[in-house]
Amino acid sequence: MLVAPSILSADFGHLARDVKAICDGGCDFVHVDVMDGHFVPNLTIGPVVVEAVAEAATKPLDVHLMVENNTFFVDLFAPQMPEFISFHIEEEKHPHRLIQKIRGLGIRPAIVLNPHSRPESVEYLLEDLDMVLLMSVNPGFGGQKFIPNVLQKAQRMKELIERRNPKCLIEVDGGVNDRNVHDLKAAGVDVVVAGSYVFKHENIRRAIESLKV
Ligand code: DX5
Ligand code: ZN
């Protein structure tokens, strides 16, 4: 399992310190939650802060957009050269065009599905995607309860991916901890995002290790 701690649960007064701690602690990606106060009822960070995160990080960034105007935000964050930029399928009229734009910028494109969205809604985009992110909470806040039916959804997504593009990764985001990570692994998930579990743990390195199942 690859592990992407979400800095949403970091101490923003000591953000560089916390980013270094997860990178030194063996994370695979640094998950960056961008919220615009419109698509979700919360407002987080912009390019100035992400630039500081990129500077402190020794692992690639995984930027998760929870915004209304995806194209505008892709242009805003592309200069920080994240490994992935993911956008929500629920908020994009022309997802195929946006995937091409992200790839054209030298960034790996990913799509996010809210809890209600069907795996089939992205079936015909899979061959152009490097990752699909399944939300296991409603986007907007850290520290929410894991929605278990994401396990069934991941299994279905895995079937579609195997048929269309076996190299595409499955990521799950929200309420992930050392108890549900085993079921996620069994369901075919490749990457987990974990915010509160990692940052509330007494030892960040051990928290990350416990998710590497
Ligand atoms: C929710 C965010 C998540 C969140 C995860 O909108 O996308 O990345 O920070 O936090 P936990 O692991 O605490 O659910
Ligand atoms: Zn996220």
pLDDT confidence of residue 158: 98
173 is an active site residue? yes
Class of domain 2-211: alpha beta
Determine whether the shortest distance from the Cβ of 193 to ligand 1 is under 6 A: yes
Q: Average pLDDT of 192-207?
A: 98
Of the chain, the end-to-end C-alpha distance in Å amounts to 6
Q: Which protein residue's CA is at the shortest distance from atom 6 of ligand 1?
A: 139
pTM of the shown model: 0.99
Q: What is the pLDDT of residue 134?
A: 99
As to burial, measured by CB atoms within 10 angstroms (0-12 exposed, 13-18 middle, 19+ buried), residue 72 is exposed
Q: What is the pLDDT of residue 169?
A: 99
pLDDT at 42: 98
The percentage of the chain sitting over the pLDDT mark of 70, rounded to a whole number, equals 100
Residue of the CA atom closest to atom 1 of ligand 1: 139
Cα–Cα distances in Å, from 127 out to 92, 123, 132, 150? 18, 8, 11, 22
The rounded Å distance from CA 152 to ligand 2 centre is 20
Q: Check pocket membership of 143 for ligand 1, CB cut-off 6 A.
A: yes
> Does the CB atom of residue 63 touch ligand 1 within 6 A?
no
**CB of 95 closer than 6 angstroms to any ligand 1 atom:** no
Domain boundary assignment for the chain:
2-211
Element (DSSP H or E) covering residue 117? none
* Mean pLDDT in residue range 142-156: 98
* 145 C-alpha to ligand 1 centroid (Å): 10
